[in-house]
């Protein structure tokens, strides 16, 4: 029983401590080139189609929210007569 515990500890220690780290490619220089390029696009849209979709969604929610606020203010300003 004790021998099994020792071997389990060794396996656990070996897999955690001496595991090879994954090499990750540095993508920062490539992103810097894309975002610093002078192509007439605003910086918040240089990320691609996902940035454009996020921007349009944000603008749509902003316009709808502002419209709803105006609607509620008008509704509160002119209450129904009982």
Whether the Cβ atoms of residue 63 and residue 55 lie closer than 8 Å to each other: no
Name 39's Cβ contacts closer than 8 Å, sequence gap at least 6.
46
The per-residue pLDDT for range 1-28, each reduced to its tens digit, is: 777 767 767 766 655 555 567 889 999 9
- The structural domains of the chain, with segments of one domain joined by +, span 42-82
Q: 3-state DSSP call for residue 3?
A: helix
The per-residue pLDDT for range 27-64, each reduced to its tens digit, is: 999 989 989 988 888 888 888 899 999 999 999 999 99
> Under the phi-then-psi rule, with left for phi > 0, alpha for psi from -120 to 50, and beta for the rest, what region is 40?
left
Name 45's Cβ contacts closer than 8 Å, sequence gap at least 6.
51, 52, 55
Both ends of the chain: CA-CA distance in Å?
84
């Amino acid at each position: 029983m004790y021998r099994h515990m020792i071997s389990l500890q060794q396996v656990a220690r070996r897999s955690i401590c001496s595991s090879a780290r994954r090499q990750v490619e540095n993508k920062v220089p490539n992103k810097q080139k894309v975002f610093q390029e002078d192509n007439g696009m605003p910086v918040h849209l240089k990320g691609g189609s996902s940035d454009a979709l996020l921007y349009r969604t944000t603008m749509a929610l902003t316009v709808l929210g502002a419209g709803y606020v105006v609607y509620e203010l008008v509704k509160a300003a002119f209450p129904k007569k009982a």
